[in-house]
A and B are shown apart, each in its own frame.
Chain A
Amino acid sequence: MAQLFHRSANSVFRLTLLGLVLLVMLAGLAWSQWLQSDYIMGTNYPIIQPIPFSHQHHVLDDGLDCRYCHATVEISSFAGMPSTHVCMTCHSQIWTDSPMLAPVRESLLTRRPIPWVRVHDLPDFTYFDHSVHVNKGIGCSTCHGRVDMMPLIWKTETLTMRWCLDCHTQPELFVRPREEIFNMEYVQPADQLELGTRLVREYGIRSLTQCSTCHR
């Protein structure tokens, strides 16, 4: 009986097999890229808030310090969110009838809080403390990015455990002088490693990678 398939069928079959393997690998690669994508991680796209609050305007244009609103960042685990009254210190004087600020006025009248959407949301079994990071020389922009350039707020870092550990294992790569903590425009110097190593010693920073550091 004559051969059923042409000789070239062997090559086609082998190529198909190879193609299938490549396809599976590509799919895997795409899947892993997808998992790390901005869409899944929630990074780099603005979160819709009840008020289109612009950090850029308040920080860059008006020159407000971070701590004007996030007042407890140096003493508490929670950085603090401004109460409606804090908003109204200025907005009882300026932009008093702006339609954008209607939810603020409504909050003041009804005595109900403004429901801000949480942007940096850690899992419930993870406990983070702002005060100790700020006091040990980690600047706002290291984790939150250039908030002063954001007309609407978004997340610039993934907040995954790997991202946390990148710094916890090598704090000297990220630490900055305490007086630069709230400086949004801070740029790491060329000798960061040298400076960082000195600061780690000076501030008594210990590389804490114990489970119990964050999980309890």
Chain B
Amino acid sequence: MTDAPQSAHQTATDDPVEALRKRLGRLRGRELWHAIEELAESPALHRWFEETFPRHSAAMAEAVNRRQFIQLAAASLALAGLGGCTSQPREHILPYVNQPEMVVPGHPRQYATALTLGGLARGALVETHTERPTKIEGNPLHPASLGATDLFMQADVLSLYDPERATSYLRGGVLSSPDAFISDYLREWDALRANGGAGLRLLTGAISSPTLTTQIQRWLDIFPAARWHWHEPAHGTGGRLGAQLAFGRDLQPVFHTDAAEVIVALDADFLTHGPAMIPQARGFIDRRRMRAGTTTMNRLHAIESNYTATGAMADERLPLRPARIPAAARYLADRLGVASGGGDDDGLTPFQRRWLDRAAADLRAHAGRSLLLAGEYQPAAVHALAYAINQQLGNFGTTITMIPPPLTGTPDPHASLAELAEAIDAGEVDTLIMLGGNPVYSAPADLDLGNRLLKVRQRVYWSLYHDETASYANWFLPAAHELEGWSDARAFDGSATIVQPLIAPLYNGWTPHELLAILAGEPRVPGQELIRRHWSGRLDGEDPEEAWRRALHDGIIANSASHPEMPPMATDLPRRLFEAWAREQPAAPETLEIIFRPDPTIWDGRYANNGWLQECPKPMTRLTWSNAALIAPATADRLGLANRDIVELELDGRVVEAPIWVLAGHAPDCVTVHLGYGRRLGGRVGAGHGFSAYEIRATSNLWQAIGARLRRIKTGPPLAAAQYQIQQGEREFALQGNLENFRDDPEHFIHLHHAEEPVTDLYPEGAGLFKNEPLSWGMSIDLTACVGCNACVVACVAENNVPVVGEREVVRGREMHWLRIDHYIEGPADHPATIFQPMLCQHCEKAPCEYVCPVKATVHDEMGLNVMVYNRCIGTRYCSNNCPYKVRRFNFLSYANENETRALQYNPDVTVRMRGVMEKCTFCIQRISRARIDAKNEGRPVRDGEVTTACQSACPTRAIEFGNLNDPESRVVALKQEPHAYGVLEELNTFPRISYLARVRNPAPAAEEDVSPS
């Protein structure tokens, strides 16, 4: 380091954040950047960035010397072709012994059922191939699905076939049998009956099942002294407890985003989070489908601490530390005339007040058609105040309704679990029966449930996995997966669905109903009978058999949704709330706050062993396989922290070690941690990744706490982020503009760098090479509608047998996703605006990949598809190098899982690729083939909408449209003619078959001038 410039760089390397801040000062206008380091853009930072994210130099990590290389090359040359000498293995055809009626091998069938998240159902249609479930689609008749799915539903089918699921009944850790459990339990029956079941406790997860509810009631009738507790680590109680404050009744809010012209989200990730996510996102997006001639759209103001996908969708976003969010609610209440007293001591800055003024004005201007949507993890008082504000605005009945809670039991599971812990201490618990939920892992740390459990004599645990809690149980019972047994469940709006099995239990597990029947002294009643018994006489229809079949077929029980109720609100509510707040101690502004949230892809940890969800990049951070402590750039700067730093995260004397991830857009002075990681048991996929935020989470501060401390201890290994795949450079991929400009000039409202005429000399014939074919496929993706929820990503993985590669390979940039959601960020680091862009093979008509393939393994077919022929591919990877969209994926290793159980999930209509071949999106060619053959057999053309790609059918907001470009009536043709449709990198003359509709934002008037956050 002798010459001056290098030393200068060295200084920058020492403090990359400094360089970032300098550059931020220069940033003007709509320059897009992809990652925060890219924004800083200095050679030294690039070096630092390469050290931090070594994927760009990953190839050098395991250096091979020249001699070894020549040896390997010679050996592969000598042995090349030997692979062709193997003869095909002998295969068997195993026909049915007694073929079920209607089953046609080769024709998949769909059955309606439901899958639950946090106890609440989302309707599903499950595709089965000769009675083997392989793929989950949404049920259009179900209110929580509307034909779409979320990412958890897609991944449930992998959990079903997880080879690491618990397979055996264990007594004291020793192999036992279901009968042994039944006789063990019945042996104590008389004694339990004699004392009314004193000392008998049941601990379940969230329950919406009407059958299970009556079964528990019946069990409590048999044992009147027994108690039922429930535990749901990711369950937010704000809505119901707030209703108790406001209405004096236990009610659940339902948000009708489809009726709202203005939404103010108060720390609510309502577009991508939770069991009501699909209808909420669909309703929101239906009011902003921008087409030529559209002049209005709804507006979303979001106030949040973490940067969530909902925040990225917001037209106006205010990052605010958690302690200030109730203050913001009070300020809004004050401005809207609900109560006065949003005083000066709230610590809100003048900019924040002006921001809230605009939100309040917008709410008032759309009174009756607006919505203040408080997030489920906000305290009850904030919810109560939000109810009062919505009441004042006249929103009840249109954008928000209250219904009896669809979940059974007391409103607060966390209090319920704490009661159980107290009862154990008091020696009142003799036998504890736990139904799933992994409480030892997921209970708040102050309960120290593991050690407490040891004071209980008989500990029975029923679960899908042999997890942390299982090692504390003296009876372990394997559970049946939701796709394996009969059940029923209610959706967020109370609608009930019968859950029917798609496959017999793989490991002889019990459904909760079968277990409860045993507990109630009715062993061995078939699951179906338990459900039918409950519903007999409760279904509409003359013929009970037909009503039952109708309910099963539709996947929803007609007229079962709860009726809205609107009890009067306590008139002095706002006054009481403000008085209570006044008594509270205000947060010391300089202390750090901590926020606990369920993980966006593995939820509360129950999906930890699901490789699809582990490898699905989390929205905003793009992390896979790990959680991190998320902090704002300003906070990182203040604390001297950077990505890859490992910190000691301390809260109330409890400590956990966490890696740091700097997230532009995160509110300053707080840190977000996601629950669900740091697993020790419960499968090799999940264990050993990330850190467990449960270890520092206490009952008193479940969702946010003041007084966290971060102390840097070392530099850790790189995190597996899928974010740095692409550097944005000079190009624009994701375009956006404002509603105002769209109205004035939809053709040119987006500022295109490449607005000049594309050079057409090279291909005088231009686009539309396949104009004379009957079928020519294309896609349109609406960037205004994409909420970045990742359902399409997991759906693509499920449909196309896309392998899971693991954390180490992701760090090397070898993830295999055919479809990814790129994040492009615009604006300053503390006020970024993010666009989500689903990126997949563009099926270019002049595909750059095709020219460079030496063996013609990638060619065009007559339907305009760029096809990949695996059996021709020799793995040169030239195509990937020449692809401007970077959507081709190479099997560096044998990623396909050969495990017999897991392999049952594979889609039989798609090749499972081997090592050494390139692969990429095929536009779901297996679905095209099926539709084409069906049409040919019936002697008719393929109808519009007959082929849906996996990503399209999963999309909660219908952002993706797919169809025949040569059918002038098709919807995709109409979308491609929209004025704001464009092709990514179309200036390269690739003639992509996918066109994007530019993102339209609707910022509040006067907001653009008021950008200074200070």
Contact = CB atoms under 8 A, between A and B. Distances in A.
A118 B105 contact: no
B97 A111 contact: yes
A102 B393 CA distance: 80
B104 A211 contact: no
A108 B97 CA distance: 6
Given A123-B871, A127-B909, A136-B936, A113 B97 contact: yes
A204 B940 CA distance: 11
B281 interface: no
A93 to B, nearest CB: 18
Interface string B77-106: 000000000011011111111110000111
Interface in A112-144: 112-118, 121, 123-125, 127, 129, 131-132, 135-136
A83 B863 contact: no
Given A75-B107, A85-B97, A118-B92, A125 B911 contact: yes
A201 interface: no
Contact of B88 (A74, A77, A80, A123): A123
Interface string B898-913: 0000000000011110
Contacts of A215: 867, 869-871, 911
B922 interface: yes
Give the interface size class of chain B: 35 or more
Contact of B91 (A80, A85, A118, A131): A118
B57 interface: no
A118 B90 contact: yes
A213 B939 CA distance: 18
Nearest to A72: B104
Interface string A70-107: 00101111101111111000000000000000000001
A125 B107 CA distance: 18
Interface stretch (B215-223, B661-669, B671-679, B925-933): B925-933
A32 interface: no
A111 B95 CA distance: 11
B937 A84 contact: no
Contacts of A115: 92-94
A216 interface: yes
A127 B932 CA distance: 14
A62 to B, nearest CB: 20
Contacts of B867: 210-212, 215-216
A4 B88 CA distance: 57
Contact of A132 (B909, B910, B933): B933
Given A81-B93, A116-B95, A76 B106 contact: yes
A116 B936 CA distance: 31
A40 B104 CA distance: 33
A136 B936 CA distance: 9
A83 B96 CA distance: 5
Q: Is the interface of A mostly helix, strand, loop or mixed?
A: loop
B861 interface: yes
* Interface hub of B95, B862, B933 (most chain A Cβ within 10 A): B95
B104 A75 contact: yes
B88 to A, nearest CB: 6
Contacts of A81: 93, 95, 105
A127 B105 contact: no
Contact of A113 (B90, B96, B872, B933): B96
A213 B104 CA distance: 22
B865 interface: yes
A216 B937 contact: no
A77 B106 CA distance: 6
B105 A83 contact: no
Contacts of A107: 97
B859 interface: yes
Contacts, number: 117
A129 B97 contact: no
Contact of B936 (A108, A123, A125, A132): A132
Contacts of B939: 204
Nearest to B912: A124
Interface string B107-131: 1000000000000000000000000
A132 B937 contact: yes
Contact of B870 (A77, A78, A118, A125): A125
B92 A211 contact: no
Which of A107, A118, A136 counts the most chain B CB atoms within 10 A? Answer: A118
Q: Which of B106, B865, B867, B910 has the most CB of A within 10 A?
A: B106
A95 B465 CA distance: 51
Interface in A163-216: 204, 210-213, 215-216
Interface in B833-883: 859, 861-863, 865, 867, 869-872
Contacts of B862: 210
B910 A216 contact: yes
Contacts of B871: 123, 125, 215
Given A72-B106, A210-B867, A216-B926, A112 B97 contact: yes
Nearest to B859: A211
B823 to A, nearest CB: 31
Interface string A48-77: 000000000000000000000000101111
Contacts of A135: 936-937
B95 A76 contact: no
Contact of B104 (A76, A83, A125): A76
B104 to A, nearest CB: 5
Contacts of A85: 96-99
Contacts of A75: 104, 107, 937
A109 to B, nearest CB: 10
Nearest to B870: A125
Given A116-B93, A123-B88, A216 B104 contact: no
Contacts of B107: 72, 75-76
A115 B95 CA distance: 8
B533 to A, nearest CB: 29
A107 to B, nearest CB: 6
Given A210-B867, A212-B865, A84 B95 contact: yes
Contact of A211 (B87, B91, B861, B936): B861
Contacts of B863: 210, 212
B932 to A, nearest CB: 9
A83 B925 contact: no
B916 to A, nearest CB: 14
Contacts of B92: 115-118
A216 B922 contact: yes
B934 to A, nearest CB: 9
A197 to B, nearest CB: 19
A114 B95 CA distance: 7
Among B97, B863, B933, B939, residue most surrounded by chain A Cβ atoms (within 10 Å): B97
Contact of A78 (B87, B97, B105, B926): B105
A112 B92 CA distance: 13
B176 to A, nearest CB: 27
A123 B929 CA distance: 18
B106 A84 contact: no
A205 B912 CA distance: 30
A29 B638 CA distance: 79
A121 B925 CA distance: 22
Contacts of A204: 936, 939
B929 A127 contact: yes
A212 B869 CA distance: 8
B933 A129 contact: yes
Interface in B931-982: 933, 936-937, 939
Closest 5 CB pairs of A and B: A78-B106, A76-B106, A81-B95, A210-B861, A113-B94
18 contacts: A72-B105, A83-B99, A84-B97, A85-B97, A111-B98, A113-B95, A114-B94, A116-B95, A117-B90, A123-B871, A125-B870, A127-B929, A129-B933, A132-B933, A211-B861, A212-B863, A213-B861, A216-B867
Given A114-B95, A129-B929, A210-B867, 18 more contacts: A75-B104, A76-B106, A77-B106, A83-B98, A84-B97, A85-B98, A85-B99, A113-B94, A115-B93, A116-B94, A121-B91, A125-B870, A125-B911, A213-B861, A215-B870, A216-B867, A216-B910, A216-B925
